[in-house]
Amino acid sequence: MIVLGIESTAHTFGIAVIDDKRILSNERVTYSTTTGGMIPYKVVEHHIKNVDTVLLKALQKANVKLSNVDLIVYSESPGIGHMLRVGAMVARSLAIQLNKPLVGVNHCIAHLEIGRMLTGTKDPVMLYASGANTQVIAYQGQKYRVFGETLDIGVGNFLDSFGRALGLGFPAGPKIEALAKKGNNLIDLPYIVKGMDVGFGGLLTNLKTKIKTGKHTTEDLCFSVQETIFAMLVEVSERAIAHTDKAELLLGGGVACNKRLQEMCRIMCKERGAKLFVPANEFLIDNAAMIAWQGLLEYNTSKKSMKIEKASIKPYLRTDDITVNWR
Ligand code: ATP
Ligand code: FE2
């Protein structure tokens, strides 16, 4: 079966083609800017401008004709409404034109399932650290339960806002990682862990004040931010592993590309005899291959297509709202 997946939850517009066993192509364009952040109407413009080129590239790389596609999948939830609508519209148009089944999937769960498929982890706790989302997720009783999460903003959005205050542009995560390597003085920062949850809002306010004083170097600030927030994420992940009695940790989301976060997770896992699984960066960040794969899993189980008029978007649907019937 040839599956075409469409990702469009935020800054990335992607199209991928997969078959039952392999990822044949995984194309994307990502909105970026040297100043400011992500303004929805500008991102939408960017995505719409790129739809046809991304589609053609994905088909060409996969060596597949549009007429050979058997299933269309799109990211239905969660995400920014403006951008979700672009993906849903493209998906509906293709499904009508090709007269093929259509499936909408949850983006967060897709991050988890592509990780399971690529790394071979069976029943992990997942640390899902992306721009908008920060969740510690594990499977229990037919659902992906959220054992811990951010109480305010996602860790990537926090890094991007901190980066904006430093004038680093968007996305700031990779730049902060590079600067952190040159820092060595650990500045005392608010460490916000409440039970299984974390928070970044207070830390952001604290940092904005610190930046204004000019007392610290950018490198030391980046270093200290990484050490602090990654320790928070590792702490709640470890607690979820202990609570669920699982022995595997899977990373997902753009922030999980960070080598220091990976290193800290590896140390924690080693110390408690658990195993760490990290997919390649291409599948940690937003990608359409995971959307196609998730759609295939769900379609193989239900054999059901969405009705075109019902194929809308659900910007606020949560990971734990979805009944997992494909496991
Ligand atoms: P989601 O919709 O799943 O919340 P997203 O749309 O924010 O995801 P991702 O590609 O998963 O997209 O993650 C993007 C985020 O990852 C950005 O906030 C970016 O700054 C951050 N990021 C990317 N690379 C790194 C890195 N090396 N270190 C830290 N953060 C990073
Ligand atoms: Fe994502």
Structural contact between residues 273 and 114, judged by C-beta atoms closer than 8 angstroms: no
CA-closest residue to ligand 1 atom 18 = 156
DSSP H stretches of helix in the chain: 40-62, 81-98, 107-119, 155-165, 173-180, 201-213, 218-244, 259-271, 281-284, 288-302
| Peptide bond preceding 174 in cis form (omega within 30 of 0) | no
Cα 95 to ligand 2 centre (Å): 24
Confidence of residue 9 (pLDDT cuts 50, 70, 90): very high
Residue 293 has pLDDT above 80, yes or no: yes
Residue 278 has pLDDT above 90, yes or no: yes
Tell me what pLDDT residue 32 has: 87
Cα–Cα–Cα angle for 149, 193, 258, rounded to 5 degrees? 65
Half-sphere exposure of 165 (CA within 13 A, CB side): 20
Cα 264 to ligand 2 centre (Å): 21
For 119-177, what is each residue's pLDDT tens digit? 999 999 999 999 999 999 999 999 999 999 999 999 999 999 999 999 998 899 999 99
For residue 288, give the ligand nearest its CA.
Answer: 2
Cα 202 to ligand 2 centre (Å): 24
Residue type, position 198, single letter: V
Cα 76 to ligand 2 centre (Å): 12
Tell me what pLDDT residue 55 has: 98
Tell me what pLDDT residue 35 has: 77
Tell me what pLDDT residue 295 has: 98
Tell me, using a 6 A CB cutoff, whether residue 159 lines ligand 1. Answer: yes
Cα–Cα dist 10/23, whole Å: 22
Confidence of residue 75 (pLDDT cuts 50, 70, 90): very high
Average pLDDT (102-128) is 97
For 181-227, what is each residue's pLDDT tens digit? 999 999 999 999 999 999 999 999 999 999 999 999 999 999 999 99
Tell me what pLDDT residue 169 has: 87
Tell me what pLDDT residue 29 has: 98
pLDDT more than 70, % of the chain = 100
Using a CB cutoff of 5 Å, list residues around ligand 2, an ion.
130, 286
Cα–Cα dist 295/301, whole Å: 10
For residue 153, give the ligand nearest its CA.
Answer: 1
Tell me, using a 6 A CB cutoff, whether residue 258 lines ligand 1. Answer: yes
Closest ligand 1 atom, residue 157 Cα: 18
- Structural domains of the chain in order of their starting residue, each with its CATH number: 3-110+286-321 (3.30.420.40), 123-283 (3.30.420.40)
Tell me, using a 6 A CB cutoff, whether residue 253 lines ligand 1. Answer: yes
In the 8-state DSSP scheme, what is residue 321?
Answer: G
Cα–Cα dist 301/324, whole Å: 10
Mean of the per-residue pLDDT values of the chain: 97
Cα–Cα dist 188/22, whole Å: 47
What are the CA-CA distances from residue 215 to residues 199, 202, 209, 223 (Å)?
25, 19, 10, 15
Tell me what pLDDT residue 286 has: 96
For 15-61, what is each residue's pLDDT tens digit? 999 999 999 999 999 998 887 778 999 999 999 999 999 999 999 99
Identify which of 114, 130, 133 to mutate to test ligand 1's pocket (most ligand atoms within 8 A of the CB).
Answer: 130
Residue 65 has pLDDT above 90, yes or no: yes
Residue 321 has pLDDT above 80, yes or no: yes
Instruction: Please return the burial class of 41, using the count of CB atoms within 10 Å of its CB with bins 0-12, 13-18 and 19+.
Output: exposed
CA-closest residue to ligand 1 atom 13 = 254
